[in-house]
Structure formats: structure tokens, C-alpha cells
């Protein structure tokens, strides 16, 4: 399937830079907190310009790849929104991103950045809600999203603890 990157960048033009900022925020945070870790940007909207990652990457793959001693240890999907997340709000995850996370053997974390904090999800947390798919219309474009109660998210310390165990 061919993806029209210019179309998506135009639709999300006011949010593209914010999305890139969230990816860069998570990238820089992890590299600073875990200097032994190498964090590579691998996702589509991780650049200011329309970015097409080299083959065999495809839409829906995680934004960041985590390396330790030149071996892939996990992935991060960095997303979120410029809103205050409240306890009765839901976190939205695209089904293609969840599917990728299920299919790869290394652990994938969903690092969600909001105005009032960072929220962490993983495959195990999302799985009970995988069929809770509804269409949302961000920027007037219909897109499917898995809806997860924000109360199910974990603090970022869960991810940090996992990383400490892997790289110690």
C-alpha cells in the first residue's frame, strides 16, 4: 500500500512539530537517564520534514529503537497530545501500532506525553482493550483507535525499572 505522506503532513501540519517534539523529548530523556543505552529514531514523524524511513520500515512501526551493546532490546512508540490528561480520559492507540508491538519479539512501550505528565503503556496493558476500537476524527479525518482508560497507564518509572534491569 502506498502512503501519501504529503497528505498526512498537510492534515496534521499544526501537530507535526508537536509530535516530533514528543519523540525528541523521549529520545533525549532516555539517552540522558541511561547513558549506556543507544536510542535510535526510526519512526515516520520523527523529523520536521516528511520522513520516509529506509526499507523495510513501514507505517505503524515504533518511533524509537533501544539498543544495548549493539543489540536491540526494545522499542518505544512516543505519542500523546497537548491536553491535560484527566482520570476519566482515554488514551488512544492506533491498532496498526499495537499490532506491530504484538508481532515483534522485543518489548514495545507506548510512551504517552501529555501536558500534565507522562503515561506508559505496554502490550500487556493494552491487550484487554484491543477490541475497544472506535473511529475518531482528528483534523476531520476518520481514523481507528484503541481506547484505553488513562487510569490503566503506568508511571514512567515502570519503563525505567525495566531498562535498569536490562542494562545493569
Per-residue pLDDT, 60: 72
- On whether the pTM is more than 0.85, the answer is no
User: What residue segments make up the domains of the chain, in order of their start?
Assistant: 5-167
Query: May I ask the CATH architecture of the domain 5-167?
Result: 3-Layer(aba) Sandwich (3.40)
Residue 8 pLDDT more than 70? no
Question: Residue 54's Cα: distance from chain center in Å?
Answer: 19
- Expressed in angstroms, the distance from the first to the final Cα of the chain is 42
Cell 514495545: give the residue. 108
Per-residue pLDDT, 21: 83
Stronger pLDDT, 6 or 71, i.e. the higher one = 71
Among residues 103, 89, 143, 149, which one has the least CA distance to residue 125?
A: 149
Per-residue pLDDT, 1: 44
Per-residue pLDDT, 129: 98
Residue 45 pLDDT more than 80? no
Per-residue pLDDT, 4: 53
Per-residue pLDDT, 106: 95
How far is it, in rounded angstroms, from Cα 76 to Cα 87? 23
pLDDT tens readout for residues 124-159: 999 999 999 999 987 677 889 999 999 999 999 999
- Confidence band (pLDDT; 50, 70, 90) for 50? very low
Phi, psi (degrees; rounded to nearest 5) at 136: -115, 160
How far is it, in rounded angstroms, from Cα 59 to Cα 147? 20
For 2, 19, 47, 141, 145, the CA distances from 6, given in Å and listed in that order, are 12, 16, 13, 14, 22
Amino acid at each position: 500500500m502506498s502512503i501519501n505522506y504529503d497528505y498526512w503532513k498537510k492534515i496534521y501540519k499544526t501537530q507535526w512539530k508537536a509530535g516530533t517534539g514528543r519523540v525528541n523529548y523521549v529520545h533525549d530523556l532516555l539517552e540522558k537517564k541511561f547513558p549506556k543505552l543507544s536510542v535510535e529514531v526510526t519512526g515516520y514523524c520523527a523529523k520536521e520534514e516528511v520522513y520516509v524511513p529506509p526499507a523495510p520500515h513501514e507505517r505503524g512501526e515504533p518511533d524509537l529503537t533501544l539498543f544495548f551493546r549493539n543489540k536491540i532490546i526494545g522499542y518505544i512508540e512516543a505519542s500523546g497530545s497537548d491536553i491535560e490528561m484527566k482520570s476519566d480520559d482515554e488514551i488512544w492507540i492506533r491498532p496498526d501500532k499495537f499490532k506491530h508491538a504484538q508481532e515483534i519479539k522485543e518489548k514495545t512501550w507506548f510512551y504517552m506525553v501529555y501536558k500534565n505528565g507522562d503515561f506508559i503503556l505496554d502490550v500487556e496493558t493494552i491487550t484487554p482493550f484491543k477490541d475497544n476500537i472506535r473511529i475518531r476524527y482528528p483534523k476531520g479525518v476518520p481514523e481507528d483507535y484503541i481506547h484505553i482508560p488513562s487510569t490503566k497507564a503506568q508511571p514512567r518509572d515502570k519503563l525505567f525499572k525495566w531498562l535498569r534491569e536490562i542494562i545493569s
